[in-house]
Each structure stands twice: as C-alpha cells, then as structure tokens.
C-alpha cells in the first residue's frame, strides 16, 4: 500500500510540476533552465509528501509576487533586470536546495510514507515518538518563508517598509499553508494544539528575519556600484564604477544561499524551543 501511494504521489507530482514549470517559463518567472530545475524540485517535493509540495507552491507564488514589487524602478537602475524575474537554475537551487535536503531527510525518516508524518496533527503530546520528526518538518515549513531583498534604488542591501511587510506577509502565508494543509490531510479536529498554531507567527517572523539577513549580507558582503556610463547599479568593479556599498565576497546567488542557511538554522532552533 505504501509503495502504491508513493507511486501515485510521484506520478501526480511529475504532472503538476510540469504544468507549473511550463506556466512559470511562459510568464517569464523562470528561464528555460530555471524551469527545468523548478520542475525537478517540485516533483521531488510532491513525491515526498503533498504537504511539502503545497509549501513549495506557496513559496514560489508569494516570492514571484514579491519580486514584482518596484519593478519599474528596478528596470531603470538594475543592470541584470529581467521582465518577470526570470530566475535561472542557479537562483532556483540557491533558494530551494536546503529545503530539498530537508525533504529527503524527512522522506528517509518516515520511509516515504506520507501518511506517517505530514498528515498527523503535529502534537508531540499525542505522538511522543514523533518529536524529532515534527521539529524537522516544522523547520522545513519555516524555511519556506520567502527570503526577499527589498531594494532601494537598486542597491544590494537596501530596505523598504513595503519590502519588509511583503516578506512578513509571505512568511505568514507559508505558516497558514502549513497549518491548513495539515488540517485537511490529517485525522485532526479543529481543536488544534496551541503549539501547532505557533507555526503561523513564527513563520511570519522567519519571513521578516530572512529578509533582514539577506539585506545585511547584501549590504556588507556583496559589491554594489554605480556605472556612470550605463547609468545602472552594477555588481562588479570597473573604471567607470563608483562604489556604493559592500565587498566583493559574495554574489547575489551566494547571498541567497547563505541567508537561507542562516534562517534555516535559526528557525530550526525556534522549533526545538517552542515545539
């Protein structure tokens, strides 16, 4: 039965991932290789559990919306601006590789049985033996909070109130998705534990935290300069480039990956403390 369930889930995951990737490429949210990477990541998440797939979908759609904030301003000042965002495969993996590793770990821990971990009520008092499974699953959910870099005049590390609110709202959406999908797929009543409801505010806080970490790294370890010839904010030094901020240590993809890692560690610790 478990093998059949995994096979059905995997087939559904491949079909849905193909549709979503094709749509993302058509809408220019991803380029061709980004679509291929997104397809692989989505198919894997759904094969491991419906809840993981739902969280990834929520992350993708919310982060795509956030990316469009200030699009006109970005078009004018950013050297690598692309309509719709058009993330490539490196950008996709920089934001999803850690979550994918967590999904694989959870699948190994549960034997690939979606009915064991993702569908129960996440109440450690009801299922004492699942303590560590719960915490890892919850840290996965909080990790899915969109890590965005609110940009002010195209400068890495710039922060705007609109961007911070969007990041917090994105994290809130992830938390609500985690609880709602769990409620729909678990044998739970609506009398959920207080611990489970804590996922929502912690997830919102993780969205804000991830944005701040991303911005801090971008402002300090990623170079930003203004090119007087192109009239653009650029990420590489040159004879016509005046430095704005940061050191040439990390590029944008590395900033995303490091901020994901740091946010994952912090939110995992929060899960251990609260759950």
Which residues does the chain have with pLDDT short of 70?
Answer: 1-2, 4, 66-85, 111-159, 185-195, 274-275
> Would the CA dihedral through 29, 33, 34, 40 be positive or negative?
positive
**Tokens read off for 176:** 């609500």
pLDDT at 146: 45
101 close to 265: Cβ distance less than 8 angstroms: no
pLDDT at 156: 59
What residue ranges in the chain does DSSP mark as E strands?
224-227, 232-234, 241-245
What are residue 242's phi and psi, to 5 degrees?
-100, 125
Sheet strand arrangement including 232-234: 232-234, 224-227, 241-245
**Tokens read off for 155:** 């400068």
Smallest Cα–Cα separation from 239: which of 250, 248, 247, 228?
Answer: 228
pLDDT at 76: 65
pLDDT at 72: 66
For residues 92 and 269, give the distance between their C-alpha atoms in angstroms, rounded to a whole number.
25
For residues 250 and 230, give the distance between their C-alpha atoms in angstroms, rounded to a whole number.
23
């Amino acid at each position: 039965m478990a093998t059949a369930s995994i096979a059905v889930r995997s087939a559904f995951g491949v079909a849905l991932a193909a549709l979503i990737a094709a749509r993302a490429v058509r809408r220019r949210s991803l380029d061709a290789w980004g679509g291929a990477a997104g397809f692989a990541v989505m198919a894997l998440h759904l094969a491991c559990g419906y809840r993981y797939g739902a969280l990834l979908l929520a992350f993708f759609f919310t982060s795509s919306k956030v990316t469009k904030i200030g699009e006109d301003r970005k078009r004018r000042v950013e050297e690598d601006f692309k309509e719709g965002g058009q993330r490539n495969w490196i950008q996709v993996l920089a934001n999803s590789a850690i979550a994918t590793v967590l999904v694989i770990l959870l699948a190994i821990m549960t034997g690939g049985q979606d009915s064991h971990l993702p569908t129960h009520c996440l109440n450690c008092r009801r299922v004492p033996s699942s303590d560590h499974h719960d915490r890892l699953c919850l840290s996965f959910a909080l990790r899915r909070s969109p890590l965005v870099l609110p940009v002010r005049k195209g400068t890495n590390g710039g922060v705007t109130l609109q961007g911070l609110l969007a990041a917090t709202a994105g994290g809130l959406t992830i938390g609500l998705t985690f609880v709602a999908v769990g409620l729909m797929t678990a044998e739970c009543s609506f009398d959920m534990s207080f611990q489970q409801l804590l996922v929502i505010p912690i997830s919102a806080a993780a969205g804000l935290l991830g944005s701040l970490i991303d911005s801090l790294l971008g402002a300090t370890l990623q170079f930003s300069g203004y090119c007087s010839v192109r009239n653009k904010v650029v990420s590489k030094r040159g004879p016509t480039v005046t430095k704005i901020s940061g050191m040439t240590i990390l590029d944008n993809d590395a900033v995303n990956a490091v901020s994901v890692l740091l946010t994952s560690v912090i939110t995992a610790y929060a899960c251990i403390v609260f759950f």
